[in-house]
Amino acid sequence: MPELPEVEEVRRSLEPHLLNVPIAAVRVHRRSFVCVGCSKITGLAGHKMVRTHRHGKKLFLIADDGQTLHLHLGMSGRVDVVPHDSPVRKHTHVVLELANGIDVRSCDPRRFGGIWFYRTYEQAHAAQLARGLGIDALELTPAHLRHWCKTRGFLKARLLSQRDVAGLGNIYVDEALWAARLHPLQRLHRLKGEMIEQLVQEVLAVLQRSINVGGTTLRDYRNVSDQPGAFVRELKVYGRGNEPCRRCGTTLKSATIAGRTTVFCPSCQKRH
């Protein structure tokens, strides 16, 4: 599933094609894919998108009059930017036809994603915050996690929940925990201040390194120009169960934690 760096790559690679180009028409192939405001989405015709915004794994496209599309890429969702006359890929649900002959096509074979339409960006943002979404992971500071000293629960599950920090999924949680030498089943209230500081530092570092090379491609993810991300070559633990730890040589352990396959080093990631 695309996490923060992959959605950021889609956002950055989409902008030069999309922004400030009039939308000639909006075609909805599969109405159920537009979760809210399906009938209103065609009202975007005649307008142009003037800015984009990303919060965690959520991508917002904002039009000149404030109308906003929220794209959630889901497990295998992607955005294709292609000439208008190119063949329509199977599972294409919504198409923005731009006046410059380019189509922006939202495509999702497994349909875990979706598009939400809002009259204004403020409505879109409020609807997301109402779901209990935490700060965007690139803006995370130790202060955002200060309440953990009184919070029950385990570290990996809490990071995956998006409640305190938005944008981290299974890949980047495992990578950040390894880098910060923290166990996925670390109890939150036992984390010391310096451990939280280290964790925040490693979260920011791993995300930034991945963004710099276009994210991680495992199976489905591609940016809008159909390019895979190169971060897969830099993964330290994700997908490396039973291989040696790149720091201490111990065999990495793979276990189901927080409902997800989790890889960690039993030697350098101790519980405190």
Which of 245, 257, 258, 263 is in the footprint of Zn ion by CB under 5 A? 245
The closest of 58, 1, 45 to 216, measured between CA atoms, is 1
Q: How many residues bind Zn ion (CB under 5 A)?
A: 7
Q: At what angle do helices 4-18 and 193-212 cross, to 10 degrees?
A: 40
- Is 156 one of the annotated active-site residues of the chain? no
Note whether 248 binds Zn ion by CB under 5 A: yes
Distance CA 104, CA 96 (A): 5
Residues 102-141 that bind Zn ion (CB under 5 A): none
The active-site residue, picked from 54, 57, 158, 181, is: 57
- Is 260 one of the annotated active-site residues of the chain? yes
Q: Beta-strand (E) ranges in 32-144?
A: 34-36, 49-55, 58-63, 68-72, 78-83, 92-98, 102-107, 114-118, 135-136
Nearer to Zn ion, 203 or 265 (CB): 265
The active-site residue, picked from 3, 6, 8, 9, is: 3
Nearer to Zn ion, 187 or 247 (CB): 247
Residues in the chain: 272
Q: Which stretch binds Zn ion (CB under 5 A): 51-59, 74-82, 121-129, 244-252?
A: 244-252
Binding map of Zn ion across residues 199-238, x = CB under 5 A, - = no contact: ----------------------------------------
Which of 111, 187, 247, 253 is in the footprint of Zn ion by CB under 5 A? 247
Distance CA 131, CA 190 (A): 27
Q: Which stretch binds Zn ion (CB under 5 A): 70-78, 84-92, 95-103, 258-266?
A: 258-266
Distance CA 129, CA 174 (A): 25
Note whether 17 binds Zn ion by CB under 5 A: no
Distance CA 42, CA 22 (A): 13
Q: What angle do CA 78, 80, 83 make, to 5 degrees?
A: 170
- Is 3 one of the annotated active-site residues of the chain? yes
Residues 51-110 that bind Zn ion (CB under 5 A): none
Do residues 156 and 185 make contact, with C-beta atoms less than 8 angstroms apart? yes
Q: Which residues bind Zn ion (CB under 5 A)?
A: 245, 247-248, 250, 265, 267-268
